Amino acid sequence: MSDTFVFSDELTCFATRVSEAVRKGARFGGLFATREPSGTRLLVLLEEGAIISTDSVVVQDAQPQYPALSLEIPAAAWYEREIHDLFGIEAIGPRRLDPLVLPTTTGSSRPRTGSGTTKGPIEIDPTPLSAHLRGEGVFTIPYGPVRSGVFESIEYLVETPGEDILHLRARVFHKHRGIETRFEGMTPADGVLLAERYEGVASVAHAVAFSSAVEQIAGVEIPEGAGLLRVLHAELERVANHLESVIRHCEAAGQAVAFARFSLHKERVQRLRAAISGSRFGRGVVIPGGVSGPPGLGASALFSSIDQVEAGVRADLRLLMATPSFADRLRGTGIVSPEVARQFGALGPVGRGSGQMADARIDRPYAAYSLLGLRSIEHRLQGDALARQRARMDEIEGSFHIIRQAIDRMEHLRAGKMQWAVPVDLKLNGQSIGWAEAPQGEVLYIVQLEEGRLTRVKPRSASFHNLAMFQAAFPKDVLTDFAFIEASFGVSIAGVAG
Amino acid sequence: MPWIPRGLREGVVTSRYPRRRDGYGPVFRAAVRVIDAADATTRIEDSVAACPTGAITIHDGRPRIDQGSCILCGRCTELRPDVFRFDPGFETAELRREALVVPEITESDEVLRLASAELGRRVRALRKSVHIRHIDVGSDGSDEWEVAALTNPVYDVQRLGVFFTASPRHADLLLATGVGTVGMLDALRQTYEAMPEPKVVIAAGVEAISGGLLGRGYASHGGIATTVPVDVFVPGSPPSPFSLLYGILLAIGRLSTADRAPGGRSPRSQGKDLGTARSDLYSEGFGMEGRI
Ligand code: SF4
């Protein structure tokens, strides 16, 4: 197909450079687009340990196509679909660009976020996914978008063309809220409130990644106390999310008592977060320049509540994992092979169950992580739901370890004069990238400011990056495993749909 | 089964609300209000400009807050603590959209009485048990956590005869979270239509009420009220489980009028300082009875 297209040298070289870098071991961090007056700029992020490098090229309006990166980098496929939905430019390659976040009717305009944008009416085509496959023995099972429990909306279509094969397609546009466009023109102070709502269960991580980008543009360092409080909230957020994943597993396995127990532990964590910040999701804590104020609980109260929560969680996790019917259900379920995980650059616990150990807290320490000792996590290669679950358990323990150090350090600082934020220039200009390790994996924010107003914000959630691999975890027709595999991915749909 | 004794070891963790007040209720930031006696006439425009959702407006020289769009960011209370304050408590839901604007636009009690009488007639059959169908129409994901928390042992809504159901055909109550995305409108309408009469709709969270910080956009309808008729409005971003529970009980007529002080706030929680409330919270083990 690609031979019918002739691309400019610029576009061809761009694709070659990116493929080359990934072949040499760089991790593909994502492909993003922004409108510019003369065309659409494509920006790719490549991560090599401590360094994030960028490469970019402009796709001219006269020929709104570019050579697909997903030819060589499978992880790029969902980004190409997203860019097609939101900007109308096409990646030319072997894959079809099925709508993902915004299926539009013919003739509808696209959001095309960035500068120099003209927006016409955008018309969404909500027709359900139709079966690709036909024939004898083929059956098709649609799920969603309204789920059968208290879950976020998403549409899946499962097709089984043969005994051992299964095709799974997902679309998330039902929840697409158009947040990227809403950022435009906001001040950074308002933008952080919106970032908190991009993927609401990871509010703190999103607020930290967004604010770090603004702080880099401003060239300011946040005070140590602010960094420590960010860490405290981010780690409590991690514990709450991982407990949520355990709850979902218990629910799928019909473990009613364990379900109730872990729900109780999670409720305690949420209440602790509210006691510290006034919000059960730690909202309003992180602001560009630092944090909004001191924690609402003192060190001794914090220590004793952490002790209580940890003791309960640890005892129940030990018991749960010793319940044979539970562990057996996860063992061998939903395998993401280390090879697939490497190709897709799997993030967070999904990656860590399949040998991908990248962790922004370690690779590129932010907030106050460089001051604190982080426990290393066991290297696992099984790639099944059990391995992902065990990675989360390690992380819960690790979080408590980090939280204690953070409280301790904060207490020492408090003796001296404590500062919670530094001022950020109100007329900032520039562009930068911020990051944070959310419970789901690394969150990235590309932030662009002109005269103190946001002109472009592109969040990249780990949920988006990881859900692209969901299909790979269903090698066989095992629909009874669906709930487990979904729970073990721990994806927030809001963070995928945008 | 080693799980059972462990379950019992905790003692009673379940809230007794609404039969008894719950210690956790008053510690929560639930709403912003205008302090009655405040001299709110000077430099109030700064707060109006600072509000990220445009929730503050000025009428006859005095500020008014739309709790249906307030995301509780605390900017106004920070800027003008003499004018705005956080109201703790969770009894924030209202039967009418206008009632979320405080101080109330002079509204006759008669209007409210009519609204609640009409709802009362519809839900008379639901006094014993009620089935809820939840639908996500573009939430940020946190709302689902708070809705799901209602089934945890602390809130345990089953004790009140409140159940979640997957089938709209068995549902009495539709609980919607999220901004009302264009992509979910058909599903929302179909779910509503599939429910038998009588049916009640709750807009849970400011996103479902007004779109919240997101407001209206190419993909957001700025709430669900233009698609389905809303009976109960529960503010919050996201609303806490107790706020949701209060909204549900209000919807099914399980609260006597005595439970509802003017403006929907319980008299006890009104004016209680959040600072002291927080230390109460700690000594009470986060408001949960039993051992932690
Ligand atoms: S708390 Fe924030 S959103 Fe609410 S009225 Fe005040 S400034 Fe506006």
- Out of A101-115, A117-131, B218-232, least confident range: A117-131
Tell me whether residue B14 is in a domain. no
| Cα radius of gyration (chain A) | 22
Question: Which residue carries 């005070």 as its tokens?
Answer: A223
B173-177 and B232-234 as β-strands: parallel, antiparallel, unpaired? unpaired
* B96 or A447, which is more confident: A447
pLDDT tens for each residue of A377-396:
888 999 999 999 999 999 99
- Chain CA centroid to CA B116, Å: 17
Share the mean pLDDT of chain B.
81
B182 and B233: one domain?
A: yes
Q: Sign of torsion, CA A279 B71 A178 A424?
A: negative
B82 and B206: one domain?
A: no
- Out of A154-168, A235-249, A460-474, B179-193, least confident range: A154-168
Opening angle at CA A29, ends A199 and A238, nearest 5? 40
Nearest alpha carbon to residue A39 among A63, A19, A22, A55: A63
Q: What is the CATH number of the domain that holds B55?
A: 3.30.70.20
Q: What is the CATH number of the domain that holds B179?
A: 3.40.50.12280
- Containing structural domain, residue B42: 31-87
pLDDT tens for each residue of A249-284:
999 999 999 999 999 999 999 999 999 998 999 999
What does the alpha-carbon distance between residue A428 and residue A447 come to, in Å, rounded to a whole number?
11
Tell me whether residue B6 is in a domain. no
Structure confidence at residue B25 (pLDDT) = 63
Share the mean pLDDT of chain A.
91
Q: Take residue A489 and report the two structure tokens written for it.
A: 């991915």
Structure confidence at residue B283 (pLDDT) = 35
CB A463 within 8 A of CB A495: yes
Structure confidence at residue A20 (pLDDT) = 95
Given a cut of 60, whether residue B280 has pLDDT beyond it is no
The model's confidence at residue B24, banded by pLDDT at 50, 70 and 90, is confident
Question: Which candidate from A176, A198, A308 shows the least CB-CB separation from B292?
Answer: A308
- Out of A82-86, B75-79, B114-118, B130-134, least confident range: B114-118
A27-36 and B200-204 as β-strands: parallel, antiparallel, unpaired? unpaired
pLDDT tens for each residue of B189-204:
999 999 998 899 999 9
Ligand 1 within 6 A of B76 CB?
Answer: yes
B279 and B225: one domain?
A: yes
Structure confidence at residue B134 (pLDDT) = 97
CA distance, residue B221 to nearest chain A CA (Å): 9
- List, in order of start, the domains of chain A with CATH numbers: 1-127 (3.30.460), 139-175 (no CATH), 179-497 (1.10.645.10)
The model's confidence at residue B41, banded by pLDDT at 50, 70 and 90, is low
Given a cut of 60, whether residue A101 has pLDDT beyond it is yes
Q: Which residue type is seen at A107?
A: G
What does the alpha-carbon distance between residue B176 and residue B208 come to, in Å, rounded to a whole number?
7
B81 and B102: one domain?
A: no
Name the percent of chain B in helix, strand, coil, to the closest 5: 35, 15, 50
Q: What pTM was computed for the model?
A: 0.93
Tell me whether residue B16 is in a domain. no
Structure confidence at residue A98 (pLDDT) = 86
Ligand 1 within 6 A of B65 CB?
Answer: yes
Given a cut of 50, whether residue B285 has pLDDT beyond it is no
CA distance, residue B219 to nearest chain A CA (Å): 5
* A488 or A107, which is more confident: A488
Given a cut of 50, whether residue A45 has pLDDT beyond it is yes
pLDDT tens for each residue of B51-67:
999 999 988 888 999 99
Tell me whether residue B209 is in a domain. yes
Give the residue-averaged pLDDT of A435-457. 96
Ligand 1 within 6 A of B62 CB?
Answer: no
What does the alpha-carbon distance between residue B241 and residue B253 come to, in Å, rounded to a whole number?
18
CA distance, residue A297 to nearest chain B CA (Å): 8
Tell me whether residue B109 is in a domain. yes
The model's confidence at residue A288, banded by pLDDT at 50, 70 and 90, is very high
DSSP B220-287: BBSSSTTTS--SEEE-SSSPPHHHHHHHHHHHTT-S-GGG--GGG--TTTTT--HHHHHHHHHHTTTT
Given a cut of 60, whether residue B222 has pLDDT beyond it is yes
Structure confidence at residue B291 (pLDDT) = 32
Ligand 1 within 6 A of B290 CB?
Answer: no
B185 and B283: one domain?
A: yes
Given a cut of 60, whether residue A2 has pLDDT beyond it is no
Q: What SS3 class is residue A198?
A: coil
The model's confidence at residue A48, banded by pLDDT at 50, 70 and 90, is confident
B40 and B141: one domain?
A: no
Give the residue-averaged pLDDT of B237-251. 93
Q: Take residue A421 and report the two structure tokens written for it.
A: 């934020």
Q: Output DSSP code: residue A152.
A: -
CB B78 within 8 A of CB B14: no
What does the alpha-carbon distance between residue A383 and residue A463 come to, in Å, rounded to a whole number?
17
Given a cut of 90, whether residue A108 has pLDDT beyond it is no
B130 and B204: one domain?
A: yes
Nearest alpha carbon to residue A76 among A13, A5, A15, A10: A15
Give the residue-averaged pLDDT of A85-104. 89
Tell me whether residue B208 is in a domain. yes
Q: By percentage, how much of chain A surpasses pLDDT 90? A: 72
B106 and B65: one domain?
A: no
What does the alpha-carbon distance between residue B55 and residue B67 come to, in Å, rounded to a whole number?
7
Tell me whether residue B169 is in a domain. yes
Cβ contact (<8 Å) for B278 and A493?
no
Structure confidence at residue B66 (pLDDT) = 95
* B38 or A261, which is more confident: A261
Task: Point out the domain boundary residue: B87, B113, B128.
Answer: B87
DSSP A395-420: HHHHHHHHHHHHHHHHHHHHHS----
- Out of A75-89, A370-384, B265-279, least confident range: B265-279
Structure confidence at residue A168 (pLDDT) = 83
CB A128 within 8 A of CB A155: yes
The model's confidence at residue A415, banded by pLDDT at 50, 70 and 90, is low
Question: Which candidate from B7, B148, B213 shows the least CB-CB separation from A257?
Answer: B7
Greatest mean pLDDT among A49-58, A132-141, B125-134: A49-58
* A134 or A86, which is more confident: A86
| ipTM confidence | 0.94
Tell me how many domains chain B contains: 2
Cβ contact (<8 Å) for B240 and A284?
no
Task: Point out the domain boundary residue: B39, B55, B87.
Answer: B87
B48 and B169: one domain?
A: no
Sheet containing B232-234: give its strands across: B162-164, B130-136, B173-177, B200-204, B232-234
- Chain CA centroid to CA A261, Å: 27
What does the alpha-carbon distance between residue B55 and residue B71 come to, in Å, rounded to a whole number?
9
The model's confidence at residue A40, banded by pLDDT at 50, 70 and 90, is very high
Structure confidence at residue A130 (pLDDT) = 73
Give the residue-averaged pLDDT of A220-226. 96
Q: Residues of A with CB below 8 A from B240's CB?
A: 280
Rounded to 5 degrees, φ, ψ at A188 are: -60, -35
* A144 or A465, which is more confident: A465
CB A56 within 8 A of CB A431: no
Contacts of residue A43, defined as CB under 8 A and 6 or more positions apart, other chains included, come to A31, A32, A33, A34, A54, A55, A56, A446
Question: Which candidate from A200, A264, A267 shows the least CB-CB separation from B140?
Answer: A200
B130 and B262: one domain?
A: yes
Structure confidence at residue B89 (pLDDT) = 79
Ligand 1 atom closest to Cα of residue B77 = 6
Q: Take residue A345 and report the two structure tokens written for it.
A: 């650059």
The model's confidence at residue B260, banded by pLDDT at 50, 70 and 90, is low
The model's confidence at residue A167, banded by pLDDT at 50, 70 and 90, is confident
> Which protein residue's CA is at the shortest distance from atom 3 of ligand 1?
B70
Ligand 1 within 6 A of B225 CB?
Answer: no
- Chain CA centroid to CA B247, Å: 6
B108 and B78: one domain?
A: no
- Out of A106-115, A361-370, B79-88, least confident range: A106-115
B40 and B166: one domain?
A: no
Ligand 1 atom closest to Cα of residue B72 = 1
If one counts every other C-beta atom within 10 angstroms of the C-beta of residue A38, the result is 12
* A319 or B62, which is more confident: A319
Given a cut of 90, whether residue A227 has pLDDT beyond it is yes
Nearest alpha carbon to residue A145 among B181, B208, B219: B181
Tell me whether residue B127 is in a domain. yes
Given a cut of 50, whether residue B274 has pLDDT beyond it is no
Structure confidence at residue A119 (pLDDT) = 66
